[in-house]
Amino acid sequence: MVFRMVFQLPAALPPSAHFPRAVLGVLLAAILPLATLAAEPAERIVWRTPVSVAASGDGQWLSTANRASGTVTLLSTTGTLADELAIGRRPGAIAARGESGFVAVTTESGDLVVLAVKDGRLVETGRAHLGFEPHDVALSPDGATAWVPLAASGDVVAVDLASLAVSEPIPTGPLPRYVAVSPDGTTVAVACAAAAEIVVVDASARSVRSRHPFKGLNIGQPAFTPDGGTLYFTFTYDGGGFTSPGDIRRGWVTGSRLGKLELQPDGGTLHGLTLDVSGRAVGDVLGLSIVDDGRTVLVAAGGTHELLRFDVAAGLPWTQISGAEVMDRALSIDAKRFRRLELDGRPLGLTVAADRSRVFVANALLDAVQVVDPAGPELQGALTLSRGEVPTADEIVIRRGEAIFHDARRSLDQWYSCHTCHWEGGGNTVTFDTLNDGSVGTYKTVLPLWHLADTGPWTWHGWQTDVRTAVRKSMIDTMQAPAPSDDDVTALTAFLTRLEAPPSPFRAADGSLSEAAERGRTLFESARAGCSDCHTPPFYTSPALQDVGLGKKEDRYPSYSPPTLLGGYRKTRWLHNARARSLEALLAGPHSPEKLTGQPPLTEAEIDDLVAWLKTL
């Protein structure tokens, strides 16, 4: 075996001990001798948190995009840490280019970074500023063009990697997050989270060829089969039920799915496969790889810490894209067609080795790349990204809270995690009835968790005034799980109260505003619009509860806590009941001055200015 085992975690620990095992891996790595890196980032790094991994075409190198540290790590496939390079805030993805090159994107710096490996070190050879939260990257077969979805602006762009010229944006719809290019380079598939749809783009014409909507959220990585005729992708199904034990167990709240789009000249046909086994569901599916010439599909389930293997060639019980609440029992017990491999931590991005014999897994919470034989599947080893840093006691507590936040095993039969609803600490694109406010049938949009300690009182109705109590209640009532320990509540609260809203990509690099946004700010602060009466800086909320006439008789509480407006450019539904589907609709309708302050309604130009300002928060 060519892969050196950097650390081996004890296999005897129970499933509930996932974070202690992850901590153990970090601490073991801290005392193991590792190769000295050729270059070290300027700031002290504790966690890298790899979310994506790529393997070079010559089979010599692996490289990871590290979300927490803002770096890319270079490892040899023999297990040696070679280099680490800072590239920008919160890298989201990395792809291999040619024999020894890589291309990475940074979501909050807004850059696409071209890298080469020279003498065992990473060298930046080019950079294009794209802005608007580039979230993923996929390369044309010849490695000449990078396709990048811009999550904040709702576009996908093509970047010529020789000239770094950026194409005109191709509108896809809100929140495009993941992308794939067909083996022949003619077709680009974009997974859009807001409308839950796959958008198929003609790579040559640079235009949308077809759209394929369905009912879901948190769409993950798409991948084409070798013949380019089928696209697989992961997503979470939105069942629409209450968070009651019965609805959860039936798959009526959320569920994990493998989607399949069979492409045709006139569009395509969508199918779905339920991944949740009765009594032992699957949580937060994201990464996906196709191996064995399209006969096998591998899916990473970060919430349940596992890798799923499906033998497509043996036949699977595909249904309608949103059909079937739990997995067909015949499939669930058929080890030839379906297997589950425990990986621990939080497995996310997958990539296949150049010789197709191994699959590499970016495991965010283990700070490692895991090596898997897809035939088993069988875990063969793990390559740590740590250079020996020892976390402080506070850092360990926060990391434990991060693990709890992403752990679907903290819910009833492990159907969903906190992250399922609060994507990256924010909200999502659907409504849920969590039963948290004591009423039934009052579906609400999901509030972001950014700056939690400074934005109380909590919940839409503001009836929670102690953050620890609110966290504990959510862990019991929303997750429908056993009561957490005090240490669990402390850890999760420590993690949540450190979440910050992302910087807005709608500001200039120096933070300045456009003329339209400046006019919008003046209007926002005016008595006519009345926005700042409830949404005051710096967090654009206020502790006072408000009744602006938007409730209904089923609500247990008459008033509402004004939500923070930070990061609002990511929202796709506004107000507690998602009544407004855009800022323009909100300001022309329920939040028009004539309804809030008794002043004349805003003109179209004023609405445009106010929207321009709100997007900068």
Query: Where does residue 361 rank: exposed (0-12), middle (13-18), buried (19+ CB within 10 A)?
Result: buried
Whole-number pLDDT of residue 444: 86
Domain ranges of the chain: 215-342, 394-496, 515-614
The mean pLDDT value for 54-72 works out to 96
DSSP H helices in 7-77: 18-31
What order do you get walking across the sheet with 111-118 strand by strand? 91-97, 101-106, 111-118, 121-129
Average per-residue pLDDT for the chain: 90
Percent of residues, the chain, with pLDDT higher than 70? 93
Q: Euclidean distance between the first and final Cα of the chain, in Å? A: 51
Per-residue pLDDT band at 569 (split at 50, 70, 90) = very high
Query: Where does residue 329 rank: exposed (0-12), middle (13-18), buried (19+ CB within 10 A)?
Result: exposed
Tell me if domain 394-496 and domain 515-614 are identical in fold.
Answer: yes
Q: What is the pLDDT of residues 441-471, one digit of tens each?
A: 788 889 999 999 999 999 888 889 999 999 9
Least confident of 12-21, 52-61, 67-76, 607-616: 12-21
Per-residue pLDDT band at 547 (split at 50, 70, 90) = confident
CATH architecture of 394-496: Orthogonal Bundle (1.10)
The token duo for 101 is 């090159």
C-alpha span between 114 and 126 (Å, rounded): 5
Residue 19 scores a pLDDT above 70 = no
Query: Where does residue 538 rank: exposed (0-12), middle (13-18), buried (19+ CB within 10 A)?
Result: exposed
Per-residue pLDDT band at 18 (split at 50, 70, 90) = very low
Per-residue pLDDT band at 133 (split at 50, 70, 90) = very high
C-alpha span between 480 and 410 (Å, rounded): 9
Residue 38 scores a pLDDT above 90 = no
Per-residue pLDDT band at 10 (split at 50, 70, 90) = very low
Per-residue pLDDT band at 15 (split at 50, 70, 90) = very low
Residue 601 scores a pLDDT above 60 = yes
Whole-number pLDDT of residue 388: 85
C-alpha span between 585 and 606 (Å, rounded): 13
Residues 329, 322: contact at Cβ < 8 Å? no
* Of residues 40 and 96, more confidently modeled: 96
| Residue 533 identity | D
C-alpha span between 36 and 18 (Å, rounded): 29
Residues 260, 329: contact at Cβ < 8 Å? no
Whole-number pLDDT of residue 352: 96
Least confident of 124-138, 511-525, 551-565, 569-583: 551-565
- Secondary structure class of 63 (helix, strand, coil): strand
CATH class held by domain 515-614: mainly alpha
**Per-position b or e across 30-49, b if 16+ CB within 10 A of its CB:** eeeebeebeeebeeebbbbb
- Secondary structure class of 451 (helix, strand, coil): coil
Per-residue pLDDT band at 24 (split at 50, 70, 90) = very low
Q: What is the pLDDT of residues 470-498, one digit of tens each?
A: 999 999 989 998 999 999 999 999 999 99
Which residue(s) pair with 365 in the sheet?
none
The alpha carbon torsion through 481, 484, 490, 496 (nearest 10 deg) reads 0
Query: 89 CB contacts (<8 Å, ≥6 apart)?
Result: 70, 106, 107, 108, 109, 503
The mean pLDDT value for 424-430 works out to 88
Percent of residues, the chain, with pLDDT higher than 90? 77
Whole-number pLDDT of residue 26: 39
DSSP annotation of 33 reads -
Whole-number pLDDT of residue 17: 39
Which residue(s) pair with 121 in the sheet?
118
The token duo for 153 is 């602006």
Least confident of 214-218, 361-365, 401-405: 214-218
Q: What is the pLDDT of residues 78-123, one digit of tens each?
A: 889 999 999 999 999 999 999 889 999 999 999 999 999 999 999 9
Query: 223 CB contacts (<8 Å, ≥6 apart)?
Result: 180, 231, 232, 233, 288, 289, 290
Q: Distances from the Cα of 127 to the Cαs of 115, 162, 317, in angstroms?
A: 9, 11, 45
Whole-number pLDDT of residue 34: 31
The token duo for 588 is 């022309």
The mean pLDDT value for 499-514 works out to 94
Q: CA 141: distance to chain centroid?
A: 26
The mean pLDDT value for 529-545 works out to 93
Name the range with the highest mean pLDDT among 237-251, 263-277, 406-420: 406-420
C-alpha span between 328 and 114 (Å, rounded): 45
Q: Which of 421, 411, 467 is nearest to 444 (CA)?
A: 421
